[in-house]
Amino acid sequence: MSAGASLVLLIALLSGCGYTQLRGPTPAPGRPPHAPGDTTLAPSDSLAGAGEASEAEIVLPPGHPRITSSEDWVGRSFLDDVVGESDPLRFENLRRHPRARVVSPHAEITFRITLGGPAVAQVWQIRMDEFGWVTAAYWTQGDAGPRLDESLATRRAEFRLARESEAALREMLIQRFPLREHAEIVRPDRLRSVPIDLWPFEDPGRIDIEYRVETLGTVTPEEWPGGSVSAPLDLLELLIGTWDDVPPRDLREMVRRLARERPMLVDVAMLAEALVLAWEVEGYDQRERLDMPLRVGR
């Protein structure tokens, strides 16, 4: 075969699928699987496997753009990616657990969302009492006044949680939120803004969750031990919102880094997802009256 024919054949082989997949050796122990400038991509590009060397990797030609994971993201969230859909403390899994159907002690949760500045604030609040009754209310700044009086709410709805949901929420509080004073999750300074398609509000907003859990020896809800936590609202939506396609790679890397640096944010996202799911599923005939800005999309 002539040199010209060999060159044409080589070009045809290389251009057939855009890149050539070759099996390379396993990286040396301790070497980051995705070092800057690396031209390899592990088949499993998930947070759980970020620190583990794979048995075989795809080796790309020098200068070839990284290849994003072929994993199907439709209907999945970053929380699914970071924590895993089979995690026993995800709300759907807890609801199906046998202990969710057993009568258990009670819990109180107040879930408050605030958007906007002092003059134009909007406030959403979902409050579950010790009997599982939920009061959901919405105020604008002019109606809220110095304190949130539910009788003065712009819109209001009430419904009863199913026992499985009530028990699952309480279990999440016990397992994910040890009794503490107020904890606040600070937004990293270098974090870029959340995509406008996912979070169209100019104000990132905040979520505040206050909770109390009944324990032995306590009589009234005021005596129950508890705590509170506060977190940026747009970051929670980024974690719990579902996607119709594979998110951009740089966004995936940013979220995974955020999850490593702010593990409590993941805990809050799991509880926020649970509260929103309980609201969307069991208060479905009331949810449109409040139109909360935080959505799961399952």
Pairing between β-strand 76-77 and β-strand 122-128 as defined by DSSP bridges: unpaired
> Is the pTM higher than 0.75?
no
Cα pseudo-dihedral 189, 190, 193, 198, rounded to 10:
-100
Q: Are residues 160 and 232 in the same domain?
A: yes
**Which segment, 58-67, 96-105, 207-216, 281-290, is predicted with the most confidence on average?**
207-216
DSSP state of 74: B
Encoded tokens for 263: 């593990």
**What average pLDDT does the chain have?**
76
- Owning domain of residue 183: 76-289
Residues 42 and 151 reside in one and the same domain = no
Q: Rounded to the nearest 5 degrees, what angle is found at the Cα of 206, between the Cα atoms of 200 and 212?
A: 140
20 & 91 share domain: no
Query: Looking at the structure, do residues 44 and 148 belong to the same domain, yes or no?
Result: no
Question: Does 296 fall in a domain?
Answer: no
Query: Is 139:153 a contact under the CB 8 Å cutoff?
Result: yes
Distance CA 109, CA 107 (A): 7
Whether 171 and 271 have beta carbons less than 8 Å apart is answered as no
Asked whether residue 39 is assigned to any structural domain, the reply reads yes
> Are 139 and 42 part of one and the same domain?
no
pLDDT above 90 (res 80): yes
Query: Higher-confidence residue: 183 or 35?
Result: 183
Least confident of 54-58, 74-78, 163-167, 230-234: 54-58
Q: Are 82 and 259 in contact (CB under 8 A)?
A: yes
| In a domain? residue 10 | no
Any domain includes 294 = no
Answer yes or no: is 4 within a domain: no
**Does residue 9 sit within a domain?**
no
Alpha-carbon gap, residue 124 to 108, rounded angstroms: 17
pLDDT, residue 59, reads 64
Do 216 and 241 belong together in one domain? Answer: yes
**CA quadruple 66, 71, 73, 77: dihedral sign:** negative
d(CA 96, CA 120): 41
Do 235 and 100 sit in the same domain of this protein? yes
Residue 3 inside a domain? The answer is: no
Whether 22 and 161 map to the same domain: the answer is: no
Q: Residues 157, 203: one domain?
A: yes
Please tell me the least confidently modeled range out of 86-90, 127-131, 194-198, 204-208.
194-198
What pLDDT is attached to residue 36? Answer: 34
Largest CA distance in the chain: 92
Which run of H or of E encompasses 93?
helix 91-96
CA–CA dist 181, 151 (Å, integer): 29
Would residue 7 count as lying in a domain?
A: no
Overall domain count for the chain? 2
Using DSSP's 3-state secondary structure scheme, residue 181 falls into coil
* Separation of CA 109 from chain center: 19
**DSSP-derived 3-state class of residue 283:** coil
Helix (H) and strand (E) counts in the chain = 8, 11
The arithmetic mean of pLDDT across residues 267-288, rounded, is 83
**Residue matched to tokens 């855009």:** 18
Which of 25, 48, 68 is where one domain is finished? 68
Domain end position, chosen among 32, 48, 68:
68
The verdict on 26 and 131 lying in the same domain is: no
List of long-range contacts for 59-68, beta carbons under 8 Å, 24+ apart: 59/21, 59/22, 59/23, 59/24, 60/19, 61/14, 61/19, 61/20, 64/19, 64/39, 66/41, 66/249, 67/19, 67/41, 68/246, 68/249
Give the highest mean pLDDT range of 2-6, 49-53, 98-102: 98-102
Asked if residue 172 and residue 64 are part of one domain, the reply reads no
Judge contact between 260 and 277, C-beta under 8 A. no
Q: What is the DSSP string of 94-124?
A: HHHSGGGGS----EEEEEEEEES-TTT-EEE
**Whether residues 63 and 193 fall in one domain:** no
Give the pLDDT score at 133. 93
Q: What pLDDT is recorded for position 58?
A: 54
